Amino acid sequence: MSYQVTNPRAFWFPGPWIGGITMILAPLLLLTGVLLRIRYNFFFPDQLQAYKENPSLMFWAYSFFLAGNILLWPAVITLVQLIGNKKPGWATWGGIFVVFGLFARTFHAGADHLAFQLVNVQGIETATKAVADAYGAPHIISTLSLLILTGWTILAIGAYLSGILNIWCSVALALMSALMMGVLKGSSVVSVIATAGLCIAFVPAGIKLLKELPAPGYRAIAGWAVFIIVFVVLLFIIGRAG
């Protein structure tokens, strides 16, 4: 079906170009991060030990995952926009739940970063004890964790009912509800299945969306190229140095 987003005068935040590109990039980045750390056990003591043994690999694994999570918000909002044309209720609630849940994953990524730095400055034993003693401490982010786990299923149902995704892609999208959340959560077979499902649902939809758009001008292409290069430099190179 046509996504009907080619009207150049219609304002759409963040816009179909950003939406389509992030629908392709975000799930691929998430899957890359999941696969990079799949060799290590899932639980936090093993993740800390893995960081001690291979800090560069773990840095990139968690960085790719975080980058994918950050880029998911425009991708999700784009899918919400497409679903909302026919099923606004499913789009609204699924989108709200998922986007709020992305904040929870970002919060956990900050805790992951601190835990890895404890390995660097205090040693593996102290870092493991500190994380174990603080694990499960109450915070309001716990509420958001439940939202995202249900939000993906709501969004998947809306995508199917609106005709944006077929039944198989909708089921693949719903698999993201199985992706575990929390501090220092590594990868498992379920993690691979969930993020691969997101790729199956989002990447073809993103490509289809971009194909239906009019070609951008050279000035727009040059501007976005500069922005992407600067963004990548800031995200990975300067971030690594810091």
Q: What is the pLDDT of residues 168-220, one digit of tens each?
A: 999 999 999 999 888 899 999 999 999 999 999 999 999 999 988 887 777 87
Residue 11: inside a domain: no
The confidence score (pLDDT) of residue 8 equals 46
Does the structure show a pLDDT above 70 at 33?
yes
Residue 136 sits in the same domain as residue 233: no
> Which helix (H) or strand (E) segment is 128 a member of?
helix 124-134
Residue 30: inside a domain: yes
∠ at Cα 216 (215, 222), nearest 5°? 140
Residue 3: inside a domain: no
Residue 240: alpha-carbon gap to chain centroid: 20
Give the pair of three-digit tokens for residue 92. 């609204």
Residue pair 213/16 in contact (Cβ under 8 Å)? The answer is yes
Does the structure show a pLDDT above 90 at 234?
no
pTM of the model: 0.88
Q: Please state, in angstroms and as integers, the Cα–Cα distance from residue 17 to each residue in 53, 212, 228, following that order.
A: 41, 10, 13
Residue 76 sits in the same domain as residue 188: yes
- 220, HSE (Cβ side, Cα atoms, 13 Å): 6
Domain count, the chain: 2
Average pLDDT of 18-23? 92
Task: Give per-residue pLDDT as tens, 55-85.
Answer: 999 999 999 999 999 999 999 999 999 999 8
Residue pair 146/103 in contact (Cβ under 8 Å)? The answer is no
Least confident of 79-93, 99-113, 121-135, 213-227: 213-227
Residue 71 sits in the same domain as residue 120: yes
Structural domain boundaries, residue 240: 216-242
* Distance in angstroms (rounded) separating the CA atoms of residues 154 and 192: 21
Task: Give per-residue pLDDT as tens, 129-149.
Answer: 998 888 877 788 888 888 888
Residue 220 sits in the same domain as residue 184: no
Residue 124 sits in the same domain as residue 229: no
pLDDT band at 111 (very low <50, low <70, confident <90, very high): very high
Residue 117 sits in the same domain as residue 52: yes
Residue 230 sits in the same domain as residue 170: no
